[in-house]
Amino acid sequence: MRPMDFQKLCTFETFKECWSHYGYGDNFQDVIEQEFTRTNGISYLDHAAATLYPESLVRNYCLDITRNVYGNPHSHSPSSRLTHDTVERVRYRVLQHFNTTPEEYSVIFTSGCTAALKLVAESFPWRPQTESEAGSRFAYLTDSHTSVVGIRGLTTGRGVVALPVSPQEVENRAKVETRGEDVICHTPHLFCYPAQSNFSGRKYPLSHVKGIRARHLYPACDHQGCWFVLLDAASHVSCAPLNLQDCPADFIPISFYKMFGFPTGLGALLVRNNTAGILKKTYFGGGTAAAYLSGEDYYVQAANLSDRFEDGTVSFLDIIALNHGFEALYKITGGMLNIQQHTFGLARYTYMLLSSLCHGNGRPVAQIYTEGQFESPSTQGAILNFNLTDSQGQIIGYSQVDRMASLYNIHVRTGCFCNTGACQSFLRITDHQMRRNLQAGHICGDSIDLVDGQPTGSVRVSFGYMSTFEDCRRFLNFVAECFVEKPVTVDQVRLKRLKIAAGPPDSNHDPAIKITNGEIHIVEEKEKPTEASLKGFGNIDLKNSRGEAYTLTNIYIYPIKSCGAYEVHDWPVGPLGLLYDRGWMVVNGNGVCLSQKREPRLCLIRPQVHLSSNKLLLQALGMDTISVPLDDNSQMHRSYRVCQSKVCGDRVETVDCGDEAASWLSEFLGQPCRLIRQSPDFTRDMKKRPSGAAISTSLSLVNEAQYLMINRASVELIQKLMSSRQDYSEGEQPLDTQNVISRFRANLVIAGGEPFEEDNWSHLIIGNTQFVVAGQCRRCQMVGVDQDTGTKTKEPLMSLSAYRNGKVTFGLYLTHQLPEVSTPAICLSAGSLILPEPHSS
């Protein structure tokens, strides 16, 4: 398939018309290729979550710690003094980066921004409400990270009133003058707000710091006492400068991995020295005491603020790495102002094109969540938040977008981004709907993207200092190729207005643009694009006139999860599904389950189950065949260790299958691996029991249900669509139906129905066994792995998504309905007749 080429819009020349700042010199592209070679072919667009580290940072850091001896900074040896002095030098460099000095601020190292927030929550001198005093207020902007709102959990228990404040209220309810009697009230209050929203990238005025402290802004103007300000700078400082001379907040929490990419697990709390005296600490750890007695309640805290609040030994090797982080950052970019200009330009350009992109019928492709129109880097960061919509204006679930993006090696973030307040505001989700979504099974961080057709979250792309124009181009091509009904059109009026907002007006008249089957055409404005048959695939006969009875044509088991299939003709049914299906799995050296997403060569391992000899055979090209026993016994439990692992978020208890299998797998896959199997004493229940299913449905190491069934007619349709989309070079052959069937990795393959007819079934009988439909299988990039070669392709997921308007479900999950006493043993046989039952109207 030819890549989509935006000849008029997705060009660097068009970008330069929109924004003049790009890169950090003439050799920018060369530096990126040298420092970030591992991102070749990848568009990483999740810098708001964690940015990428340059190779020189890690290389120089490794040279540092291999050439120097760093001891515990609490000792006084030469190595310890070296550590102490280096750490203090890093503290100074942190303050210098934010244009302040040790006389004004102190740096307290923490494990991250969240730990810094927790430190403030636990140390702030909250006063509960009494009969004579109103008590402290904990006020926070509703557009705040979970870790900020979470302070409420501590303050509520101390009798402190929590006060959520909408962004509009801060200035709309402001008062110029305060009452004179307020001077005598010293009740401490805390107001928290983000310098930049991690949801939308909106930058809030840094002047709010002084406005709150002076009690001119709401809520400080309405409540007597002393107001302190916590400025959550974690999102802001990743791509923008922060000058503490202009906004002298009392507390500033940050995470360094958002700035440098490495090290992770290290953050800091910057505390204004004039404020530090109000913090009250109860617990004292190693290094925080000037003196104490173990026999009585006597303790004198360390005089230095950092020493007082850094319990135990700090992560000194990680702190030393910060030095190399600053070195690399400034060497590559020249400073934060350059980074701000570069990243904002990329975000603005992407916003302009995405917000102007339309379906063939003229409907917009994206619903973008922003307060402005990316006019200036002083009000908007390098974050773009949106949901995609289909040609009828319906939201496409963010999980579908995420799966397709992964197929294109585009890394994005989806969900609510730990910012429920902003998510509710932009998506217009009421509190009642939030509770209803929870009852429907949706929780933070899961893949339930739509409830009753309404979005539960969105998609976020964010840029870092090493992001390039190519990242923007690939992302926009991806959206147009996968989610836009052809022909693609562009809202030229909107695009021209946005260009003017970015710079001088464009004097050239831009004609309408349409894209059909991957080709770009320039058309007159009066020309109306024709409706493309089958979303731009061309004319394909979809009618299936075979009229055959429904039959079970193939049965496959997958003894080892994510490894090759084993086709059988007759096979026994056990309590967990087909006997020995997904009874084993491969884990890496850290005990994490390997799948074809991470290791596609797993499909080249061809396990076979020999019931007569009670053996599982492991076979692969170029390897000797080995075996492990099928059944567990007491000897195995004594010989091999029992371990805990996870499958699809579920904890599972497993048994290690020994060193021989581990060595065999490690040799074939080229990394440390082990083979484990589900413990026979462990029961894993299905998360969501379908209506009409057994009271308890137990699972093996499958993802979601006991069986996966696909319809051969549906496969043949997708195979035809793939053939119509692809341009094959000389010698290449289109994928045949059997190859596509193997990629969907089903247990049961049926024939005789119309394409996707099975989506409407609720129950079915195969032979004499009853099954309940547990839901549709949502597909991911794993179906792109050719099960014969282990190579990755974009098909069939791309054709499936395009045909189903972004929906990537294919196949049905089933659970069986077995009698309590199975005599004789129940088997499934290829060739059995099938009786389906559709959903009742």
Cis peptide before 73 (omega within 30 of 0): no
| Residue linked to tokens 């000849």 | 7
- CA-atom Rg of the chain in angstroms: 30
SS3 603: helix
Q: Is-contact 676 645, C-beta < 8 A? A: yes
Strands 267-272 and 105-110: antiparallel
How many Cα atoms are found within 13 Å in the side-chain-facing hemisphere of 620? 19
SS3 479: helix
- Taking each continuous run of H as one helix and of E as one strand, the counts in the chain are 23, 41
Its sign, for the CA torsion 364, 368, 371, 376, is negative
Q: Taking Cα atoms as reference points, which of 739, 740, 765, 717 lies closest to residue 549?
A: 765
| Residue linked to tokens 């989610």 | 483
| Tokens matching residue 384 | 């773009």
Q: How many whole angstroms separate alpha carbon 197 and alpha carbon 228?
A: 20
Q: Which residues contact 642 (CB under 8 A, 6 or more apart)?
A: 653, 654, 655, 656, 679
Catalytic residue among 113, 418, 482, 777: 418
Cis peptide before 572 (omega within 30 of 0): no
With vertex at residue 728, the alpha carbon angle to CA 727 and CA 729, rounded to the nearest 5 degrees, is 120
SS3 188: strand
Q: Is-contact 314 267, C-beta < 8 A? A: no
Q: How many whole angstroms separate alpha carbon 3 and alpha carbon 480?
A: 11
Q: Which residues contact 218 (CB under 8 A, 6 or more apart)?
A: 165, 169, 170, 171, 172, 173, 174, 175
| Tokens matching residue 480 | 């147009």
Its sign, for the CA torsion 737, 742, 746, 748, is positive
Q: How many whole angstroms separate alpha carbon 545 and alpha carbon 712?
A: 14
Q: CA of 594: how far to CAs of 285, 658, 664, in Å?
A: 40, 17, 15
Q: Is 777 a catalytic residue?
A: no
- Give the amino acid at 38: R
Q: Which residues contact 448 (CB under 8 A, 6 or more apart)?
A: 399, 437, 440, 441, 442, 456
Determine whether 725 is exposed, middle or buried from the number of CB atoms within 10 Å of its CB (0-12, 13-18, 19+): buried
Residue 93 CA from chain centroid, whole number: 32
Q: Taking Cα atoms as reference points, which of 724, 715, 618 lies closest to residue 667?
A: 618
SS3 450: strand
Q: CA of 105: how far to CAs of 96, 256, 271, 339, 646, in Å?
A: 10, 18, 5, 25, 44
SS3 352: helix
Q: Taking Cα atoms as reference points, which of 813, 820, 825, 823 lies closest to residue 694?
A: 820
Q: How many whole angstroms separate alpha carbon 724 and alpha carbon 732?
A: 14
How many Cα atoms are found within 13 Å in the side-chain-facing hemisphere of 108? 28
Q: How many whole angstroms separate alpha carbon 149 and alpha carbon 110?
A: 19
Q: Is-contact 685 697, C-beta < 8 A? A: yes
Q: How many whole angstroms separate alpha carbon 305 and alpha carbon 15?
A: 48
Strands 357-358 and 366-368: unpaired
- Catalytic positions: 418
